[in-house]
Amino acid sequence: MKKVLMSLTACCVMGLSAGAWAADAATADEVVAKVKEASVAVKAGADVTLSEFDKKDGKWAWKDTYVFALDCSAGVVKAHPNEKVKGIKVVDLKDKATGQEFGSALCAAAKKAHGGWVEYMWTKPGAEGNHRKVAYVLSAGNYQVVAGVYDDKLTAAELEAKSAK
């Protein structure tokens, strides 16, 4: 009986741990909602909002992701919670696994009516190695607002359907 209780307890703890870990991962729906909210905020007051994007523990950073901004006309990352990324050239945004540039793809996707998605490999906060990230980007006045989700399974069709809502 004691072994059964211990096994049951272990299963419950493992289940809760897995559930807690999953709850710490942002979803594509959250990313779309946050980017749309951030886009409205940028249009209302770019200087204040963009400075908020630079804060690692601010409103625009949640779970395992964050909002950042590009200035595609100037070709730079305008706001980002990682000081090493903020201010770099858009063309210097490179896939961590292949080395392929993806910043230009973000700028191109932002021109779509409902924004767009770009896939690349990136470092995940709190995790080792590089992970598949799909980022949603939307134009906001003179800037492009971006956030991504780390997910190995979402397809392009599923992502496009989420952004068209």
Q: Model confidence over 58-95: pLDDT tens digits?
A: 999 999 999 999 999 999 999 999 999 999 999 999 99
Pick the CATH number of 27-163 from 3.30.450.20, 3.30.1380.10, 3.40.50.1820, 3.90.1170.50: 3.30.450.20
Confirm whether pTM is higher than 0.75.
Answer: yes
Q: Where are the alpha helices (DSSP H) in 1-115?
A: 2-23, 28-44, 46-53, 103-110
Q: Model confidence over 16-63: pLDDT tens digits?
A: 333 334 458 999 999 999 999 999 999 999 999 999 999 999 999 999
Q: For helices 28-44 and 46-53, what crossing angle results, to 10°? A: 140
Question: What does the domain layout of the chain look like in residue ranges?
Answer: 27-163
Q: What is the mean pLDDT of residues 89-102?
A: 96
